[in-house]
Amino acid sequence: MSAVSLSRGALGRAALILIFVTACRDAVSPPTIAARGFAPRADASVAAAPSKSVLPTGTGFGINNDPNPPQRTKYRMDYHDNPVLRGPQNLYFIWYGDWSGADRSLDQQIVGELAASIGNTPYLNIAQLYSDSDGNKASSAVIFGGGVYDAYSHGSILSENDIKDIPDQKMLNFELPADPQGIYVVVSSPDVAAAGQGISYCATHGVTNLFSMKSRFIYIGGPARSPLRCSTQPVGPNGTLNGDGMAYLLAAELANVLTDPFLNAWYDRIGLEVADKCAWSYGTTFKAANGSLANVHVGARDYLLPPLWVPSKSGGACALHW
């Protein structure tokens, strides 16, 4: 991948028609979206909600093999009268740290190809099941807008403020556009660590404020730094631990950003977002050519991606497509 910004048209303008595997076993028929957003009525099979909702933090996807995981499927998704993302969203990547060598180059190819082809797929169309107060569905149209490199501008140990400042500096230095429709994805090499990474989370999303514009960002830590907590399997369907693990995390955080861009729209009573509720699960899988597990085919590659939450009148379930 070039060290300079890539052309949006080179990879991102074409929406691909994809064939997906069947939804996970607990998938349900897609609901109808009400004018003020779908808010399913709980029945006897849905747990009573806590007296007060917990706000999402952007880190709800958590870690793999969590000894005390949250009760992810216990509560229904609720709408909190705030915006979802509408219209095409441009993904800008910041490859932070050391991305030299063949292994890291392959990682970039795996993630870059997913970013270029996941838009408007049956998988990401699940985001359209979540609407705003005017009945506008969350977008599933994403376009790969290219990427730039950042060789440790904020060091190898990142604070929360560092993560927010990295995309801001790329915009201030005109390396990336200040795009109101942009989502800025900071992907760190395995030698970089952020506060809490690999301990309580592997990837996160949030908002920065620059030029009076709320910019959405995603941070993905290199799974190879914490393979037991931040990767899905020792070798993924594309032959890597790090690249395949990053693809899994990117899909999750992208779905969360589309439906809950400012951490105040769609989440359940314990602060879990659309991908968080299905974290570290896989649905119905098949064997990729190298014998590892996969569950979707996107573009030219097999991937193992997290199912996403499909709401229903009885609460909802995890699924891989809509």
What does 19-42 look like in DSSP terms, one character per residue? --PPPPTT--PPPPPPTT---PPP
Local confidence band at 50 (pLDDT 50, 70, 90 cut-offs): low
Q: pLDDT at position 211, please?
A: 80
Q: For residue 237, give the amino acid letter.
A: P
Q: pLDDT at position 27, please?
A: 37
Q: pLDDT at position 52, please?
A: 74
Q: pLDDT at position 15, please?
A: 35
Of 14-18, 72-76, 215-219, the one with minimum mean pLDDT is 14-18
| Interatomic CA distance for residues 167 and 93, integer angstroms | 9
Judged by DSSP in three states, 279 sits in: coil
- The Cβ of residue 163 has, within 10 Å, a number of other Cβ atoms equal to 23
Q: For residue 110, give the amino acid letter.
A: I
- pLDDT, the chain, mean: 87
| Beta-carbon contacts of residue 18 (< 8 Å; ≥ 6 apart) | 117, 121, 122, 123, 296, 297, 298, 299
Q: pLDDT at position 71, please?
A: 95
| Interatomic CA distance for residues 106 and 249, integer angstroms | 17
Query: Which two structure tokens, joined as six digits, stand for 177?
Result: 């556009």
pLDDT at 122 over 50: yes
More confident residue, 22 or 313: 313
| Interatomic CA distance for residues 143 and 117, integer angstroms | 8
Task: Return left, alpha or beta for 196; rule: phi > 0 is left, psi -120 to 50 is alpha, else beta.
Answer: left
pLDDT at 30 over 70: no
pLDDT at 271 over 70: yes
pTM, two decimal places:
0.85
Mean pLDDT of 103-110: 98
Query: Which two structure tokens, joined as six digits, stand for 239?
Result: 């032959």
For 194-227, how does the pLDDT look when each residue is reduced to its tens digit (9 = 90+)? 999 999 999 999 999 888 889 999 999 999 999 9
